[in-house]
Amino acid sequence: MERETGRGQKAWKLLTELRERSPLIQCITNFVSMDLMANTLLAAGASPAMLHSLQEIPDFTPHAHALCINVGTLSPDWLSSMKSAASLATQLGKPWVLDPVAVSASDFRMKACLELIELKPTVIRGNASEILALSNASMGPDKGVDSSHRSVDAVEAAKSLAQASSAIVAVSGAVDIITDGQQVVGVNNGVAMLQQITATGCAVTALIAAFVAVDSLHAFEATASALSIFGLAGEIGMDMARGPASLRMHLIDSLYGLDQATVFSRVNITNMS
Amino acid sequence: MERETGRGQKAWKLLTELRERSPLIQCITNFVSMDLMANTLLAAGASPAMLHSLQEIPDFTPHAHALCINVGTLSPDWLSSMKSAASLATQLGKPWVLDPVAVSASDFRMKACLELIELKPTVIRGNASEILALSNASMGPDKGVDSSHRSVDAVEAAKSLAQASSAIVAVSGAVDIITDGQQVVGVNNGVAMLQQITATGCAVTALIAAFVAVDSLHAFEATASALSIFGLAGEIGMDMARGPASLRMHLIDSLYGLDQATVFSRVNITNMS
Amino acid sequence: MERETGRGQKAWKLLTELRERSPLIQCITNFVSMDLMANTLLAAGASPAMLHSLQEIPDFTPHAHALCINVGTLSPDWLSSMKSAASLATQLGKPWVLDPVAVSASDFRMKACLELIELKPTVIRGNASEILALSNASMGPDKGVDSSHRSVDAVEAAKSLAQASSAIVAVSGAVDIITDGQQVVGVNNGVAMLQQITATGCAVTALIAAFVAVDSLHAFEATASALSIFGLAGEIGMDMARGPASLRMHLIDSLYGLDQATVFSRVNITNMS
């Protein structure tokens, strides 16, 4: 599979638009990820807003350009807000992205994610075990929130889920997989140590929301671009890192500073179908 | 407008007292900002406490030296705690500071902030759009939590709000504005990139609470000093930063390490009235 | 008191097992500490999971290898989850660790901690004032969440608490104290500046949970090892730090990169009984 040079140009175009337009991204997310998610969005040029109250959704969500929903520290009252905001976003034609963190952790969480998928997310991003579980709607025990399956195993599951849900499905892993149920592309950017930093998966989901906000008509390309840009920032950050905490810092600095030449030459997306 | 050299000496005196007395600052704040707020307070020499339960306020708030209330991720139950703590602080003559984050995001939030202002905050700090909105009590849509108005536009709004509320009002921006309704000073410290880091506004509000805690009789000076000291730490941090994440780190390190000569020579506060 | 060379070998053995087995550690903790706690666990090789909903505990807690409970931002609904998870852990023979943050802040919090202790934690870790307060079950005002008593003062209180609760009791301070009610050891690793970083106490409690997860039959040794390893990472980080924020980064990087020679030569645990 050969790297497609046109993908770098598309990714750069989207990143440039993101920096210019600074879309407002509402995040209803877990407590662990809020800091990194907000800083990722700011570094990319977006405008984050972590409003989660049911009372505020009718007033606020219509002003957001995209919505990011993440079930990492789910509770019943937050689930009500998530459903309300997702429902409103879909109704208003706004893109929204679902991160089904640790979906197999409990029946409550699996049911919540399946209900959210009924509300028509634009994109679903998870690791291989999460996407496999969602696709199978299996309730078995899962090894925490980290992936214990290789992402390539999940290609068929991702395609099935994409077909069933009409969402773009992205599977993070050594190679990230993105599919709309027909096409499949792989993103080869990123470094393994990103998995040693909490909430990097959540942060890239928020970045997908920001990319989709600037080109919701091409959510497939926007999703692949976001994953590639985030992974590329990680690669550049890794050159300066001594461990996961310095990688986290350099990741954000690198995302902020990404330039055209780097994006053109290093975005690495390949066709897999 | 000329830089006033006496302001550096006042700011240093307050910072020194803060480091010596280590006032206990109770923060009822949003989920995004807790980490940076606590680390800002610790780096400045204060003792942060993030207690928010209604059950704990009658026992704990009387021991705090100041209270910081921030509505960034407001919900009805947290609002009850905020009102209870604010009411108790005012009753006990303790200073408290309000950060009306994204006050225009919803009617619920605007109403909450107006109710909190009834409870007599010592200081209100926001960005220009927040202070304008509060001053106008207008309900229009707002572009997220970041300022889309220049702070100088907000001088008149800040004076009106200060007169109506009897609070010191601070408006963050390229130049920070502080007013008690009559006097107006501008703080010229700070760097633009601080806005690319989530929760720096929240953090400086907490620092104002700490400064006011050590000299509540001169809340106007204490507020200007806190904004200047935070901005100065940002300036020093900026010399070492490669982007927003490294700036965040160097900001806190610089705040921790600020010395007399630097504060004397670089605090930059000017009279504007 | 002489440094015991065998302790370094034990600590290295436990750290190696932790890295190999990657135990799943459920944390029901405060909002301030979630980020640092998760990153500490990841850097040490463990797998963190911040699930806190009552609905999820029956499904999820049986899959965790240890549980970490921290009352820093306690509220009644979170307390219900803490009790449910602690009760289930004890029933299933899983180790769990309690961090009684600011236990004297309110009657509500003291009562909550005493009820949690009834559920038989494997380890209780606090600072000297917290352990003294718990041991005395005194309700007096406390200076926030930071220690205002030296840890050596707390040795007798720790022994009493350990005897009354059947838990290992650890007291953080310039020298960390660990006791099972009979034996007492001191951990001499660590640097003072760790106290200027929020949630380092919470993070080391989570690390204790991870160490106890890999050797629950020797919780006393595991607790001492965790405190020593964390302190040692702080010492190494301190060589590169310019202040508390850079220390925080280097602490995590150093924890991630700890090697056998360093652990063997620098773990500094002494017998005190």
Q: What is the pLDDT of residues B6-63, one digit of tens each?
A: 999 999 999 999 999 999 999 999 999 999 999 999 999 999 999 999 999 999 999 9
DSSP code for B104: G
Contacts of A67 in chain B (CB under 8 A): none
Q: Residue B147: which pLDDT band, with cuts at 50, 70 and 90?
A: low
pLDDT > 90? residue A101: yes
Cα dist from A98 to A27, A204, A219, whole Å: 10, 11, 13
| C136 vs B109: which has the higher pLDDT | B109
Please report residues of B whose CB lies closer than 8 A to that of C107. 59
The full set of domain ranges for chain A reads 5-271
- Average pLDDT of the residues in B261-270: 97
Predicted confidence (pLDDT) at residue A17 exceeds the cutoff of 60:
yes
Tokens 């990153």 correspond to C39
Strands (E), C176-226: 176-179, 184-187
- Which of B37, B73, B74, B101 is the best substitution to test chain A (most A C-beta atoms within 10 A)? B73
Q: Which residues pair with A28 in a beta bridge?
A: A69
Phi, psi at B103, each rounded to 5°: -55, -25
Measured in degrees and rounded to the nearest 5, phi and psi for residue A117 equal -65, -30
Mean pLDDT of B113-130: 97
Nearest to A196 among C31, C59, C256 (CB): C256
Taking the C-alpha atoms of residue B56 and residue C106, their distance in angstroms, rounded to an integer, is 5
Give me the helix-helix angle, A219-238 and A200-214, nearest 10°: 140
Place A235 in a pLDDT band, splitting at 50, 70 and 90.
Answer: very high
Between CA C13 and CA C8 the distance in angstroms is 9
d(CA B6, CA B17): 17
In this predicted structure, what is the pLDDT of residue B153? 77
Tens-place pLDDT, residues B202-234: 999 999 999 999 999 999 999 999 999 999 999
**Average pLDDT over every residue of A12-31:** 98
Gap between the Cα atoms of A224 and A168, Å rounded: 10
Q: Which of A130-139, B108-117, C168-177 has the lowest mean pLDDT?
A: A130-139
Average pLDDT over residues A204-230: 98
- Residue B268, pLDDT > 70, answer yes
Q: Which amino acid would we find at residue C91? A: Q
- The edge-to-edge listing of strands for the beta sheet with B123-127 is B47-49, B24-28, B66-70, B96-99, B123-127, B168-172, B176-179, B184-187, B269-271
Chain B residues within 8 A (CB-CB) of chain A?
A: 30-32, 35-36, 72-76, 102, 105-109, 141-146, 196-199, 241-246, 248-249
Q: Which of B30, B238, B242, B251 to mutate to test the interface with A (most CBs of A within 10 A)?
A: B242
Q: Please state, rounded to an integer, the average pLDDT across all residues of chain B.
A: 94
Taking the C-alpha atoms of residue B269 and residue B95, their distance in angstroms, rounded to an integer, is: 23
Q: Is B217 exposed, middle or buried (0-12, 13-18, 19+ CB in 10 A)?
A: exposed
Stretch (H or E) spanning B217:
none
Quote the tokens at residue B131.
């202070």
Strands of chain C (E only): list them.
Answer: 24-28, 47-49, 66-70, 96-99, 123-127, 168-172, 176-179, 184-187, 269-271
Nearest to C236 by CA among C270, C190, C273: C190
Identity of the residue numbered B44: A
Query: How many residue pairs bridge chain A and chain C with CB atoms within 8 Å of each other?
Result: 100
d(Cα C58, Cα C85) in Å, to the nearest integer? 8
pLDDT band at A137 (very low <50, low <70, confident <90, very high): confident
Which of B40, B60, B68 should we substitute to test contact with C (largest number of C Cβ atoms within 10 Å)? B60
Average pLDDT (A83-112) is 97
CA of residue A106 relative to chain centroid, distance: 22
Q: State the pLDDT at residue B58.
A: 98
CA of residue C211 relative to chain centroid, distance = 10
Residues of B with a Cβ under 8 Å from any C Cβ are 24, 31, 34-35, 38-39, 42-43, 47-53, 55-56, 58-60, 63, 248-257
| Tens of pLDDT, residues B236-252 | 999 999 999 999 999 99
Burial class (CB in 10 A: 0-12, 13-18, 19+), C262: middle
Query: C47 vs A144: CB contact, 8 Å cut-off?
Result: yes
In one letter, which amino acid is C124?
Answer: I
Task: List chain C residues with pLDDT less than 50.
Answer: 138-146
pLDDT tens readout for residues A105-128:
999 999 999 999 999 999 999 999
CB contacts, 8 Å: B196 with chain A? 42-43, 256
Pairing of β A269-271 and β B47-49: unpaired
Residue C211 backbone zone (phi > 0: left; psi -120 to 50: alpha; other: beta)? alpha
Contact C108 B31 (CB under 8 A): no
Contact in structure between C244 and C206 (CB atoms under 8 Å): no
Cα–Cα distance measured from residue B206 to residue B66, given in angstroms and rounded to the nearest whole number? 9
d(CA A145, CA A148): 9
For the range B40-43, what are the long-range contacts, defined as Cβ-Cβ under 8 Å and sequence gap of 24 or more? B40/B203, B40/B204, B40/B206, B40/B207, B40/B230, B40/B252, B40/B255, B41/B206, B41/B207, B41/B210, B42/C196, B42/C197, B42/C198, B42/C244, B43/B252, B43/B253, B43/B255, B43/B256, B43/C196, B43/C243, B43/C244, B43/C245
ipTM value of the model?
A: 0.94
Report the candidate in B193, B183, B209 with the shortest Cα–Cα distance to residue B269: B183
Q: What is the pLDDT of residues A242-269, one digit of tens each?
A: 999 999 999 999 999 999 999 999 999 9
Say what the pLDDT of residue A148 is.
Answer: 55
Question: Which residues of chain C are at the A interface, by a Cβ-Cβ cutoff of 8 Å?
Answer: 24, 31, 34-35, 38-39, 42-43, 47-53, 55-56, 58-60, 63, 248-257
CA–CA separation, B172 and B228 (whole Å): 11
Check residue C152 and give its pLDDT: 54
Q: How distant, in Å, are the alpha carbons of A16, B215, C47, C259 from that of B194?
A: 21, 27, 33, 37
Per-residue pLDDT at A141 exceeds 60: no
- B123's enclosing H/E stretch is strand B123-127
The pLDDT score that the predictor gives to residue A3 is: 75
Which class does domain A5-271 fall in? alpha beta
Give the amino acid at C92: L
Token match 């991702």: residue? A158
Task: Evaluate if residue B143 carries a pLDDT over 60.
Answer: no
Q: CA-nearest residue of chain C to A250?
A: C249
Residue B74, SS3? coil
Q: Do B245 and A257 touch (CB under 8 A)?
A: no
Backbone angles phi, psi at B52, to 5 degrees: -130, 0
The confidence score (pLDDT) of residue C96 equals 98
Q: How many CB atoms lie within 10 A of CB B44?
A: 27
Please name the residues in contact with B199: beta carbons below 8 A apart, sequence gap of 6 or more: A35, A38, B32, B33, B35, B36, B37
Residue A24's pLDDT is what? Answer: 98
C187 backbone dihedrals φ, ψ, rounded to 5° = -110, 120
What residues of chain C have any CB closer than 8 angstroms to a CB in chain B?
Answer: 30-32, 35-36, 72-76, 102, 105-109, 141-146, 196-199, 241-246, 248-249
- Residues A146, C47: C-beta atoms closer than 8 Å: yes
CB pair distance less than 8 Å for C36 and B35:
yes
Class of residue A77 by CB neighbours under 10 A (exposed 0-12, middle 13-18, buried 19+): middle
At residue B34, the pLDDT reads 97
Give me the residue from A142, A146, A198 closest to C39, CB to CB.
A198
Distance from CA of B272 to the nearest CA of C (A): 35
- The CA distances from residue C188 to A189, C167, C203, in Å, are 43, 22, 18
Residue pairs spanning A and B at CB distance below 8 A: 99
Angstroms from C74 CA to nearest CA on chain B: 7
Evaluate whether B174 touches B193 at the Cβ level (below 8 Å). no
Q: What angle do CA B90, B93, B94 make, to 5 degrees?
A: 80
Chains touching B, CB cut-off 8 Å, 3+ pairs: A, C
Predicted local confidence at residue C153, as pLDDT: 77
Q: Which of B74, B63, B62 has the alpha carbon at shortest distance from A60? A: B74
pLDDT digits (tens, 9 = 90+) for C95-148: 999 999 999 999 999 999 999 999 999 999 999 999 999 998 743 344 444 455
Going by the DSSP 8-state scheme, the letter that residue C178 receives in this structure is E
Which chain C residues touch B32 with a CB distance below 8 Å? none
